[in-house]
Each structure stands twice: as structure tokens, then as C-alpha cells.
Chains A and B, each alone.
Chain A
């Protein structure tokens, strides 16, 4: 597990997403380009409705852009209006997601939630069990492994969600306001966790956040406004 940045894991060029058509047309993302290096953690700031979450869904292959090009881990996944890969397979192999809500499967224990991510990626159950324990231990919630999500605190749930996102050793982790439901102390702990993951697991991490108090944690800060992406100066916040 090396620290620092070493090569681009994500390259997005000219991403545009338009909702609706005619007089109801809304340009959510306009010609957005960004590069993310392995082991780098980037904050994505901006007011509500700026297009941050939409950009994440485009990079995460949840929705296709109207225009642009996306390459992840050296593989072109979207180019010239066409998706070039099996998106579900690519997501489970190369991408990890964390949201404002942990979105854990409520009928699975913490360990099973992590195992599930690996088992649907064809890892044997035995391997998945071991990796789940290892990740929960790494994120400091191993003592909660056999508890259902309803028995976990918000912070614990987010840690399990991070463990699930890491399960398949993804190149890119996308986090959409992961600390919005947490108090400032726990919020900072989760942000530090992402930094640890980025640097130790060598994954590129993009975190959409409104929490300006934790910007010192990030390697770089980007800002979106009216669908346009640009570099930001953390000191300005």
C-alpha cells in the first residue's frame, strides 16, 4: 500500500449531462473534465443543484453522459455517445460507492454486507468472509461484524459502507456527502478514513461535501457551479 499519487486512475473529458428537452431542458453538467490519480483524495464542493451528484453518477456509470469521454484504470468506458463496457460488471470490479445514507442491506449483518459485494463479483464465500473481517477490522468496526445495520450507529454504518466500497479493491471510490448525517467529530473521522483508504489502498477518492471544516484532509479541491467544474482554493472557504 503506497502513499502519494502515481498515475491517473480516472480521466474524464468534456462530460455533459442534459435533463429534459426544449424549454424544460436543464444542463446539469457542462463540459466537465477531471483527472484523478491513484492514492489521491479530491473534494468536490459547490452549492445544492450545482451538478456535483450528477457528475458522480456519470463517473460512476450510473447514468450515461450526453457527451464526453471517461476512462477508468486505463479502460475507456464511455466515448462518442456509447458505453464501451458492461457497466454492471465494470462497477462491481472497479468502482466503490459511499452515500450520505449508508444504504446497507437491512437484512444482512455488517460482515454480510461486505461479503455480498465480493460474492456478487464471483469471489468464493470463504475468501469473501476473510476479506470482510479484515476490512471491518481495518475500519475499526470488527466488534460490530455480526450486527444488523439497525443496531449500528450512523458512524458505524458509514464505516461498514466504506468497507463494502473497498471490498473489491476498486481503483476509484465515489462518495456523495458521506458525512452529511454525522456530527462534526464523526464526520471528520469518516473523512480521515477516506484519506487513509486513498493513501493506503492506493485508490482514487472523490468526495462530494459541504463540510468546509475538513478540507485540509483533501489533496485537491474542485468546485462546481451551474454544472461547470473548476479548481478551487480551499483557503477561500
Chain B
């Protein structure tokens, strides 16, 4: 006869409420772990998806995600000429915040190297890849921009042609993919007045130099678009992604490009590690601390619940001892309830999480190893929490029945 199950049956309502309460707490512990795993995945998502062999970035910077990196567009061609390089493509990444329908629209703008790259490699769950050189965009589904929706960015209007899934930046902002040119237009968009003032400033500077005074056409040139004056123009791209030929060691190519004085080169794994150690590290420690604290709180609450349940049964435990019940019968009653409470609480946490996690602002990723680990921790705290109740039960004397 299983005493634990019969006691639960007798106090079913209280047990259900306790289990739901504990389950909600465990859901938060589970969610914290899921947020951390999502953070890591988000941080390395693009690096993993792009799967470039090498990332070429501005000298002594840590790449386009960790900090600002600016290199000229011509770098793409310079790298393509390096022996062993199969392909190179420009990469632009910048985060912007605009307003749409009165709501903030925060996105990470990514440039695709049109026409070679139309975004076919992205996880497109609706719509299609980019189909033309301008004015189309692939938006992450979490932005809730319908296919065909028009979005004004800078001086242009872009149409959503496809939805990607789970494409977020390390900061948790949804990614939106444009052609490289469109991405640059959005990144370096200036108001008409700002452009007019910049031109006037350039002209003013040029006419004050000997060159400007002796060659008036130079001064006139400075009145044109900045892009027509390469040495004065804005740095064009964030990085160049390099694929090496099969059979060539990426380290060999890295050795060549790494000697150039104007760039730094990272392997994909190097870029990945930079992301994890830089952007994610503090959040990881923060979330880890929260998880540990929540597990301690869960253990304390479980211990209190089990202790209270044991106190309620002290008279019955004394009677069991008086009848001659062995200690394992009494320990089993408490321990089985603890494990059942922990096990069912865990299932409630998982069930609630399946419903609640998609509503979380950050992605929550539950992986089987993380779930197994948490199950082990819950089993551990169930046993630990039952110890106080067990200690109390063992101290009960059979003559307390007479009290």
C-alpha cells in the first residue's frame, strides 16, 4: 500500500495548488536557462548561419557585432585576389530605431551582397528571397510585418517580401535583410539639410587649400555626393566574409590577409568566441546567478512545504511507529511525496513554459541537455528538501499518540 499516494489523494486540492505554485517557480528557473541558451544562439546565429571561413574587419577591432567596424568596399575585391580565396562578399550590420504607426521599430539592418546573395540561405518561413536590387526586405517574423507591408526607412520605402524565423541580433533585436546598397543607404542616410551643410563645409575647406585655389574643379567636385569623392566618403562596409577554396587551410589565407596593416582577420570560431566572451558573458553570469538563487528559493519553499506536510502528519507518524512500522515506511511517505511534488512541479513548469515562453520578449530555447540537467537538479532539491521533514519524523516518539 502506497501511503504517499493515499495521503495526496486525501489532500488532493492542496497538493494540486502546491504543485502548481512550485511548477510556476520552476518555470521561471527553466525560462532563465532558456533565455541564456537563446542569448548564446542569438549571439552566434548569424556567424553560424553565414558559415564563412574568415571574417575580415577593421584593424584592431573585434568585428561588426562586438564593436563598430568600418572598412572600404574595395576590400571585397582586394581579398578576392588573394590566392586560395573562393569568394568574398561585403557585410553590413547596423542597428537602427525608427517609428512605425506610433510604435518604436528597432531592427538590425543586414546587407546582402546582391546579386550573388539573395538570402536563400536564411530560414525563410513565408514569402521569398530578395528578387530585385532595391526596395525589398526580408523581415524576422517576430516584427509582425505582413508580407507586402511597406516600411519607410530613410528616404525610401521598402516592401516586405519574406519572413525569416529566429533571426535576432546578439542584442535581441530582430534582423532585417536588404541588399547591400539599400543597407548602406539606410545606414548613412542623412537629411537634405545635413547633406547641403556637409557639401558646403567640404567646399569651404577645399577653397582654403592651395589645391582648391589652384584647381577650382576640385572645389566644384566637393559639392557633389560624398560617394563620388572616395577619399572623403563614408566608410562603406562593416566586414568582408571570405570563403576559401576546398582543400585550402583557412589559416593559410588568414596568414596572408592578417599581414595587411589595415584589417584584422578572424576565423568563424574566433568570431564566435569573441561574441560569447564579450556580449554574452555578463548576461550569462547574471542569468546564472538568478538561476542559482531561484533554485535555492525553490529548495527552501519545497523544504517548507514538505516540513509543513510532515508536521500535519506527526500524530499519524507516531501511530505508525507505535504499530511497529519500520523507518523506511515513514521515510518513504515523505520522500515519495517530495519526489512526486518535484516531478509534477517540473512537468507543470514545462507545460506552462510551452505556453508562456513564446510571449517572452527574448527568445527562450529549451534544449534536451538543459531540460535533463534541470530535472536532475529538481530531483536533488526534492531529496534535499525532504531531509528536514524526515529528520522531524525520525524524532517523533510513538508515545506522542497518547498526547
Contact = CB atoms under 8 A, between A and B. Distances in A.
State the main secondary structure of chain B at its contact with A. Answer: helix
Contacts of A117: 323
B398 interface: yes
Nearest to A60: B322
Interface in A78-135: 88-93, 95, 97, 99, 103, 105-108, 112, 115-117, 119-121, 125
A176 interface: yes
B401 interface: yes
B11 interface: yes
A60 B322 CA distance: 9
Contacts of B315: 103
Contacts of B398: 62
Contacts of A99: 401-402
Contacts of A176: 402
A140 to B, nearest CB: 23
Q: Which of A60, A97, A164, A176 has the most CB of B within 10 A?
A: A97
A88 B323 CA distance: 7
B401 A88 contact: no
B320 interface: yes
Interface in B1-22: 1, 3, 6-7, 9-11
B10 A106 contact: yes
A120 B6 contact: no
A107 B7 contact: yes
A88 B325 contact: yes
B316 A105 contact: yes
Interface residues on B, range: 20 to 34
Contacts, number: 65
B324 A92 contact: yes
B144 interface: no
A53 interface: yes
Contacts of B316: 105-107
A127 B316 CA distance: 24
Contacts of B11: 107
Interface in B102-145: none
A105 B1 contact: no
Interface string B322-333: 111110010000
A106 B398 CA distance: 17
B402 A120 contact: no
B147 interface: no
A158 to B, nearest CB: 15
B401 A92 contact: no
Contact of A125 (B1, B7, B319, B324): B1
B321 interface: yes
Contacts of A105: 3, 316, 319-320
Given A99-B401, A112-B6, A148-B10, A91 B324 contact: yes
Given A91-B324, A105-B316, 19 more contacts: A57-B402, A60-B322, A62-B398, A62-B399, A88-B324, A88-B325, A89-B324, A92-B324, A97-B323, A103-B319, A105-B3, A105-B320, A107-B7, A107-B11, A107-B316, A112-B6, A120-B323, A120-B326, A120-B329
Interface of B: 1, 3, 6-7, 9-11, 315-316, 319-326, 329, 398-399, 401-402
Interface of A: 53, 57, 60, 62-63, 88-93, 95, 97, 99, 103, 105-108, 112, 115-117, 119-121, 125, 148, 164, 176
14 contacts: A88-B324, A90-B324, A91-B324, A99-B402, A105-B3, A105-B316, A107-B316, A108-B1, A112-B1, A116-B1, A120-B323, A120-B325, A121-B324, A125-B1
